[in-house]
Amino acid sequence: MSKLGFDPFLDMPSPREFQARLTRRKAPVKAILLDQGFAAGVGNWIADEILFQAGVHPEKRCHELTDEEVKRIRSKMNTIIRKAVAVAADAERFPKTWLFHHRWGKQAGAETANGHKVAFITVGGRTTAFVPDVQV
């Protein structure tokens, strides 16, 4: 337990601290979001959703993130986790615009609710769903 990172639901770091913790790392942002030593409880689909909604490519290196990208990542982490808790993780109650609904099974031709193609790569040893038209 002592090696776990912050709890994004109960103990989100300040914007300044979040930025310092994230941008001092050189690994891909998706890998760091999955690192339980960074943020406890962020799993694969949550990391994909955060980066999709923040418009950040999962392979972007943390030390290369702009201030604005870091702000969006922190904000989306907070929003997504709070929504998941509020609806007791009932996927049927997640917004239909979420990548969550289109990421399962690595389906060829998968598209978001807005018609953007969903692509699949491996980042940090995990299957990663992302939307190239949105995540740069």
16 phi, psi to nearest 5 deg: -65, -45
Residue 37 has pLDDT above 80, yes or no: yes
Rounded Cα–Cα distance for residues 50 and 98 (Å): 10
CATH classification number, 15-130, choose in 3.40.50.2000, 3.40.640.10, 3.40.50.1000, 1.10.8.50: 1.10.8.50
Q: Helix (H, G, I), strand (E, B), or coil: what is residue 111?
A: strand
**Domain coordinates in residue numbering, the chain:** 15-130
pTM across the whole model: 0.95
Reduced to 3 states, what is the DSSP secondary structure of residue 61? Answer: strand
Share of the chain above pLDDT 70, in %: 99
pLDDT digits (tens, 9 = 90+) for 69-120: 999 999 999 999 999 999 999 999 999 999 999 998 888 889 999 999 999 9
